[in-house]
């Protein structure tokens, strides 16, 4: 039986029950059984309600998201105004301004009269959205099911994560600590229904409910403003004396459905878990993008580097959450009048360490001359690559010399410029005149000069009969059937056929031989496989 003063929930019927039946007692007809033994549902019977999902939803509400997205670096009291609405009304304020009597919705002139030293900043919807997505990205460390609830909330389905993180209380503490480290002050609520958790968090009630049947009683005292229904509908309900969720639940169902939008009744059903609540999952961005405004503006590169370090810490947290690394970054230093200064950092191998990136950034900042003070820093990562764990020796030999080489190359490139640091590589080419070339290059990582990407070993060329001295251009030999060089040549090895270069216009079709002169010198010669089949000298053995 339902408790006194609480709505009665009947299986198969959504919330907002119809008025109670007449008190006269009537005999209920016996249900007709279907052939399989079950009750036969009539055409007029309501459809069965969706079964309650065995889920637990953690709502993260950010009541001060407007101010926290800006993160102004000042000690003065701060208020935020909306430029699109004339910048005449306070959108948000910090604790100092609130202590002076400033509240949301107050006229800016009134706020300045209460606190003349206010620091006024403008609202930035783009940064608000970026902060919400960054919050959702951080939530992916706790569960793969994360949903956005713009503009100021994130929902996490955490039932499968409770055992991993030590229970609901411990999980909520970890989420709160993670967000507080980012300068946010969240409100959390945990219930079996996503919408109920959201309403509790908006109301500032941090509850942890595990039983769906307890939702109706706990939701009843919440003000209807937490639903964020249209203002006109809330005013109509207020004129009827309905200002709380429980009072709304006691209204006649049919009358409520006729007077208000259908989604309002559906949301009430979803808040108690009597209707499905499908939501689109959040997909994290493929690259890291972050921005930080500087107040005051900076022209000292040492202070500028310290201002960039929080962005790098957020980047490395982003990379660890995906098991990824980056081999390129771009900093954009924004000025007030001059074009942005771009700093592109390239690494010899994929990195995900703050110390490694900071060292390269320090060298780059030491080389630049700022045309104007920097008012903001924007960081954008290159494409993410899979992070590879460093191979370690079973017997822990000292390998520090090899591990330090990538960092040395990166610092040299940052200090001298990428065009001043070169590496070497072998070209895997079958044509002898190009096979042994050692080419200089600067854009490719210098550390991969003789190493293959798969094994880290030198590429193996199976041909051992190669001369020490290779002619720059093959020299024609006398003779058609038997070649001559200081006399007739004696063939010792061969033929070795090489056909290559058809794709670049330097087609080579040759049969190579090792031959000996009458004086005993060993030569490397070939015969063209196309007519007229001439002989050429290409190298001399030592």
Q: What mean pLDDT value characterizes the chain?
A: 81
Residue 285 has a CB neighbour count (10 Å cut-off) of 13
**Do 195 and 270 form a contact (C-beta atoms < 8 A)?**
yes
Comparing 249 with 83, the larger pLDDT belongs to 249
Task: Specify whether 456 is located in the same domain as 476.
Answer: no
DSSP 273-308: TSS----PPP---SS-EEEEEEEEEE--HHHHHHHH
On whether both 489 and 457 belong to a single domain, the answer is no
Q: What is the pLDDT of residues 483-495, one digit of tens each?
A: 999 899 999 988 8
Q: Is the pTM of this model over 0.75?
A: no
Sorting pLDDT into bands at 50, 70 and 90, what band is 165? very high
Is 151 within a domain? yes
Residue 410 inside a domain? The answer is yes
Shared domain for 302 and 335, answered yes or no, is: yes
Judged against a pLDDT cut of 50, whether residue 454 lies above it is answered with no
Q: Using one digit for the tens of pLDDT, what is the confidence trace for 294-353?
A: 888 998 888 999 999 999 998 998 888 788 899 899 999 999 999 999 999 888 888 888
Higher pLDDT, 368 or 14: 368
Q: Do residues 182 and 271 both lie within one domain?
A: yes
Shared domain check, 64 and 204 = yes
CATH number at residue 372: 3.30.1490.100
DSSP code of 159? G
pLDDT score recorded for residue 425: 63
In a domain, 47, yes or no: no
Q: Do both 272 and 143 map to the same domain?
A: yes
- Asked if 317 contacts 153 with a C-beta cutoff of 8 angstroms, the reply is no
Do 474 and 455 lie in a common domain?
Answer: no
**Same-domain pairing of 334 and 433:** no
The pLDDT assigned to 403 comes to 54
Same domain, 197 and 149: yes
- Beta bridge partners, 59, equal 155, 189
Number of domains forming the structure of the chain = 4
Residues 453, 494: one domain? no
Where residue 462 falls among pLDDT bands split at 50, 70, 90?
A: very low
Cβ contact 517:486 at 8 Å? yes
Q: Which of residues 359 and 421 earns the better pLDDT score?
A: 359
Q: Would residue 270 count as lying in a domain?
A: yes
Question: Looking at the domain assignment, is residue 454 inside a domain?
Answer: yes
Tell me, yes or no, whether 187 and 272 share the same domain.
Answer: yes
Handedness of CA 399, 400, 401, 405 (dihedral sign): positive
Is 78 a domain residue?
A: no
Pairing of strands 78-81, 119-122: parallel
What are the tens digits of pLDDT across the range 99-110? 999 999 999 999
Last residue in a domain, options 235, 264, 284: 284
> Is 251 inside any structural domain?
yes
In a domain, 496, yes or no: yes
Question: How many angstroms separate the CA atoms of 426 and 437, rounded?
Answer: 6
Does residue 266 share a domain with residue 137?
yes
Q: Cα–Cα distance between 186 and 343 in angstroms, integer?
A: 35
Residue pair 375/297 in contact by the 8 Å Cβ criterion: yes
Residue range(s) defining the domain that contains residue 207: 52-69+124-284
CATH number, position 265? 3.30.70.270
């Amino acid at each position: 039986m339902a408790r006194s003063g609480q709505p009665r929930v009947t299986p198969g019927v959504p919330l907002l029950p119809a008025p109670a039946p007449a008190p006269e007692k009537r005999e209920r007809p016996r249900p007709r059984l279907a052939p399989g033994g079950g009750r036969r549902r009539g055409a007029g019977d309501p459809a069965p309600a969706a079964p309650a999902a065995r889920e637990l939803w953690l709502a993260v509400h950010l009541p001060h998201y407007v101010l926290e997205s800006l993160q102004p670096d000042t000690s003065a009291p701060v208020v935020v105004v909306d430029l699109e609405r004339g910048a005449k009304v306070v959108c948000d304020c910090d604790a100092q301004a609130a202590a002076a009597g400033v509240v949301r919705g107050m006229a800016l002139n009134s706020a300045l009269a209460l606190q003349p030293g206010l620091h006024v900043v403008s609202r930035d919807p783009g940064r608000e959205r970026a902060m919400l997505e960054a919050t959702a990205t951080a939530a992916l460390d706790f569960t793969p099911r994360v949903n956005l609830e713009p503009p100021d909330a994130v929902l996490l389905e955490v039932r499968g994560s409770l055992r991993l993180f030590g229970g609901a209380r411990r999980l909520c503490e970890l989420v709160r600590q993670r967000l507080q480290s980012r300068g946010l002050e969240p409100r959390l609520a945990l219930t079996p229904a996503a919408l109920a958790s959201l309403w509790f968090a908006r109301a500032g009630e941090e509850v942890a409910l595990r039983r769906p049947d307890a939702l109706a009683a706990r939701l009843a005292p919440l003000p209807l403003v937490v639903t964020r229904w249209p203002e006109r509908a809330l005013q109509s309900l207020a004129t009827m004396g309905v200002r709380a969720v429980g009072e709304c639940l006691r209204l006649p169902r049919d009358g409520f459905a006729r007077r208000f939008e259908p989604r309002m009744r559906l949301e009430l059903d979803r808040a108690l878990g009597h209707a499905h609540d499908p939501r689109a999952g959040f997909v994290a961005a493929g690259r890291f993008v972050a921005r930080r405004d500087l107040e005051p503006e900076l022209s000292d590169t040492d202070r500028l580097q310290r201002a960039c370090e929080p962005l790098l810490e957020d980047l490395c947290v982003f990379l660890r959450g995906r098991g990824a690394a980056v081999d390129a970054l771009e900093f954009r230093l924004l000025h007030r009048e001059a074009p942005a200064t771009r700093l592109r950092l390239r690494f010899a191998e994929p990195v995900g360490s703050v110390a490694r990136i900071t060292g390269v950034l320090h060298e780059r900042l030491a080389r630049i001359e700022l045309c104007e003070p920097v008012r903001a820093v924007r960081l954008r990562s290159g494409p993410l690559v899979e992070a590879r764990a460093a191979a370690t020796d079973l017997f822990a030999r000292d390998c520090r010399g090899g591990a330090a080489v990538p960092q040395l190359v990166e610092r040299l490139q940052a200090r001298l410029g990428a065009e001043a640091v070169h590496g070497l590589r072998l070209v895997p080419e079958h044509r002898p005149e190009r096979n042994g070339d050692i080419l200089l290059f600067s854009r490719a990582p210098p550390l991969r000069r003789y190493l293959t990407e798969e094994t880290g070993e030198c590429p193996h060329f199976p041909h051992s009969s190669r001369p020490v001295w290779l002619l720059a251009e093959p020299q024609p030999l006398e003779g058609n059937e038997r070649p001559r060089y200081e006399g007739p040549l004696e063939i010792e090895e061969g033929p070795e056929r090489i056909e290559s270069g058809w794709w670049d216009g330097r087609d080579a079709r040759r049969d190579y031989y090792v031959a000996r002169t009458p004086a005993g010198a060993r030569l490397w010669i070939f015969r063209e496989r196309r007519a007229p089949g001439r002989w050429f000298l290409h190298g001399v053995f030592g």
